[in-house]
Each structure stands twice: as structure tokens, then as C-alpha cells.
Structure 1
Amino acid sequence: MRFGSFVFPVSHQPENDSAVIDSTLDEIVLAEQIGMHSVWLTEHHFDGAAAHADPLVLAAAVASRTAHLKIGFAVIELAFHHPVRLAVQTSLLDNLSHGRLIVGTGRGSAYNHYEYIGFGITMEDGLARLDEAEDLLVKAWTGEPLQHEGEHWDLEFPLLRPRPFQQPHPPLIRACISEASAVRMAEIGRPVMIGIQTLPTLQARLERYRATMLDSGFTEEQTEATLDQCWASRDLFIADSYDEAHEIAAAGFERERTHFRRARELYNPGGFPPPDPNRPIPAGESLEHSFIMGTPSQVAEQVAAMRDIGIRNLMLKLNVGEMDTHKVQKSMRMLGEKVMPHFA
């Protein structure tokens, strides 16, 4: 089982941004030291949800400070990037990291209209451009020469330089919120990142993904190889006692959810509607379903439950709601010393 660090460092006040970025880099370096497989960098703008905002620039810093960690994006918000410029930047990052890049893509936030407005587009435009942008990204990495005539971009150039370090290009993975989106990716054999879901939902989604790939003509070997690149998300905190872990996790989770909600209320045109009391709370907004927490042995049991339903790669948010970085680092060390060895 592989463990990745999901880097989503909320900064509650602008004056905290620099310190949060510094502590985030320290936590990424520690992730390599404790033997984690990868680090996954997110992208959000204007609200402090991700203090670094730009994962591409942060990835360059990570490449210079680490030697073995895979560097993934979870995700690059394709709506905010020209695909050819993105191809150049990711190709350079792949060279700087000597082939450690994994390019995770998605349309961007499904709730933060103000991010799209800030880049001069609409959320609907972002969704409409997604498939063509991803297609053009791959063409730019591999085409020689490249000509593209599409709905959103018409362009040509002789050759992308530098070429990606990994050939034919870095691994590509798509973030999928809905089951329908995951099924679409299964039909073309593309691995997926699945956000926080209950264990039964995760198991059902993986089973349908597998069945769809086989029904689409992929071999058992191809299907297994693709499932081996799929990731599922959780938050995680480890402490010397369950009560301590729960107290720190619950406080961080509430700070983070409040931050997200207030930003949408303040910045979205028309605000942000309150949750519908007649609908169940999404798993990602529930502490119970979001967090793996407790002592090392309790956490190992919870990770084993995920492994037993077919999860092979676990993307863990290790600092939730601007937690104290010393407590986060202690939690990470216990993860590396007392939990991960059980799943080697």
C-alpha cells in the first residue's frame, strides 16, 4: 500500500501565508524522510484555502528539496491554464525532478465561483474546456510537429522543448467527484483520484470502475495496472491517545470547514446557500468519514479496513485547518515509524 501526503495548507489570515508556506515545505521534506511515496499539491486561489495557491511553482521548490518523492498534482485546475503553457511548465518540472512528476487534472472547484471570475471565465466554461485541454496537453507533450484545431484552441508549433523526462509523457490522472465521472475515465483506461467517501461507496465505486474497464475491452492485466494507479483520500492525525487525536482533528476540521464556508459566503455572487437539511451531509464534510485518527494501532486498523476493500493508494491530508506544525510533524513521524511498516 502506498501513502501520499495531500498538501492542502489552509491559511486563515493573509499575514500567515509565508509562515504556512515555510512549514508546508518542512512537512513535505519530512514526508520523504519517513518514506512516503508521494506528495500531492492542490490549487486554489484568492481565499487562503491553499496558502501557496500555485502548485507548479511549489512543485519546483519540492523538486529542489527532495530526491525520491513522487510529485503529484491534486489537482491542476485546468480551467485556469493554457494547455500549451502548462505542457511547457510540467515538462520542465518533469526534467527538474528527473521523472518524478504525476499530473493530476480536474476542472477546479465545484463551489468557488469567485476563482473562475478571477480568471475571467465561468464555471461552465471550465467544465466545457476540460476534455479538450487535457487532450491538447498530451498532444503538446508528444506531438512533433503539433497542429490542433478544436472548439476552444487553434494552434500549431514544431516541437515542445524541453521534452518530458518520462516518455511518452508523465502519468496522467483525473480527479472525479461523481461516480459518472469515474466511469468515463474507466472507459478510456485513465486512473482516478476519488475524494472522501464512505467505505461502502468507495468499494462500490472501485468495483464499478473495474467492471467498466473490462467491459470496455481492457485486459485483466491492464485493468489491474490502472487500478494500481488510483488514489483515495482521507485526513489523518495520530497522537498518543485517541482523545488527544480527536481533539486536535476535530478543532482543525471545524476551522477548515468554517474557512471554506465563509469564503464562499463572502466571495461567491449571491453568497453560498446553507446546506439542505433534507439531504445527508456529504462524507467530506463529516469528521467521522473524513478522518483516520487515534493511536498508531488504531490508525493501522482503520488503514487496514481501507486496504481490505481494495484501496491500494491512500492520499492523506496531514495538516487540516492550520494545525500546529510541531504536532503535525509528531503525527507524521508516528505514521512513518509505527503505521506504514505494517503495509510495506
Structure 2
Amino acid sequence: MQQPGPPLWRSVISPGSFRECGRLGMPILTARLPVERIKERWATYAAGIDEGGHDTQTKAQLLRRSALWRNVYVGESDAEAEDTLAALLIETRAHMMHVREAHNPADFEPEPATLNAWTDPKVPDSEAVPFLLRTGCLYGSAARVRDQVSELRDVGVQHLLCQTGFGAMSHAQNLASMRRFGEKVMPAFHAT
């Protein structure tokens, strides 16, 4: 399916999709998954790989390529980063909800399994933003973000996709955050 084309990752979130992608031997990408769930979902994926009859080398390669996506904002302090990121997320969510309301058919009802505190329009921002900060973001001072990346590594994440620009973030904010990440976070993981 991917020969000779570029590699494809399938986006997964439910346990069943992790297992099915494992059976099919497809690389995976997931987001908005709490740290405490990652080991469990990676194990479900590995079980699916085994059920699919894939050899040891293929299994190791698929597990190595399993990707986790996070918004990343490295601020000058934990408080500044949280305040900045929360404001950006509120704007982003308002836009997302507006677009869905404006462009989905009037009778459209999302599947309940596709909703979480971030995507459910019935959930107030006061619950949605903390949910996304906890499950979809790396943020804070460089020291805090290093700790968050270490925690992800310790639960088995080997392939981390970092989205550094999102919402109404200014170019200057993005560059400053990326510079802090590159200079103060990434060097800690050079040898790992």
C-alpha cells in the first residue's frame, strides 16, 4: 500500500482502531490521549500487530514509528505559557465550533464516540481548555516541557510530532517558542 509512495500514518484514538491498524500493519498517529492511557493503547496496537501475524522486525518498526501529536508552546515561565496557550486555544475552539455550525448540514449529529471535552460543543471552554492542555499539549517553561517530553518517552513514545504554530498565534510567538524548544528542550534528548 505504501510502496513506492510516501509513508502513510492512520489517525487513531479508540482502542479498536489501534488494534485494527496493528492487524493491518499500518503506522499510527494519535492525539489528545492522556499520558496515563498511552502504554495501554500502545499495548493494544502491539496485540493487533501480533494478531495480524507480522514478523518481529515489522512489529519493532511499527512500534518505533507509532506517533503521538501534541501542540507545543515553550514560554518564558509556566504561568505565561499556560495563559498564552489557553487564550489561543479558546480562539481556536470558537473558530472550530463556528465552522462546524456554518458548514455541517442542519441534521448532522456527530457520533458520540468522536466527541470528547474539546470537540463537544455542549462542553464549556472552562472544561474543554483544561482537557486539551492535559491531553494534547506540551507547554510551560523549557524545564517543564523537558519533563513532559521525558514522561512521554518513559511511557513508550518514540515518535513525537510537535505542532508549534496554531490558532491565532503570532509569527513572533511561534518563533520564540520554537527557539526555546530547539535550544533548551531538544538538546536533553539528543542521545536518546
Normalising by structure 2, what TM-score?
0.82
Q: Structure 2 vs 1, CA of residues 306 and 251 (structure 1 numbering), >3 Å: closer, same or farther?
A: same
Amino acid aligned to 2:152:
M
Q: Does 1:313 align with 2:159?
A: yes
**Pairing partner for 1:335 from 181, 186, 191:** 181
Q: Distance in 2 between matches of 1:197 and 1:310?
A: 13
Q: How many residues align?
A: 177
Matching residue of 1:234: 70
Deviation per residue, 1:274-318 (Å, 9 max, x gap): 6456xxx78995323222111111100001001111001111121
Correspondences of 1:24-103 after superposition (within 5 Å): none
Q: Distance in 2 between matches of 1:303 and 1:271?
A: 42
8 Å contact kept, 1:187–1:213: yes
**Pairing partner for 1:184 from 12, 16, 20:** 20
Q: Distance in 1 between matches of 2:97 and 2:155?
A: 32
8 Å contact kept, 2:165–2:174: yes
Correspondences of 1:1-344 after superposition (within 5 Å): 168-270=4-106, 275=121, 286-344=132-190
Q: Distance in 2 between matches of 1:271 and 1:243?
A: 42
Q: Distance in 2 between matches of 1:335 and 1:272?
A: 40
8 Å contact kept, 2:12–2:28: yes
Larger fraction in helix: 2
User: Which runs of 5 or more residues in structure 2 are unaligned?
Assistant: 110-119
Q: 1:168 Cα shift?
A: 3.0
Q: Structure 2 vs 1, CA of residues 331 and 283 (structure 1 numbering), >3 Å: closer, same or farther?
A: closer
SS in 2 for 1:319: coil
Q: Which has the higher contact order (CA 8 A, sep 6+)?
A: 2
8 Å contact kept, 1:235–1:291: yes
Normalising by structure 1, what TM-score?
0.48
Matching residue of 1:24: none
Asked which structure has the greater CA Rg, the reply is: 1
Q: Distance in 2 between matches of 1:299 and 1:271?
A: 42
Larger fraction in strand: 1
CA RMSD of aligned residues (A): 2.3
SS in 1 for 2:9: strand
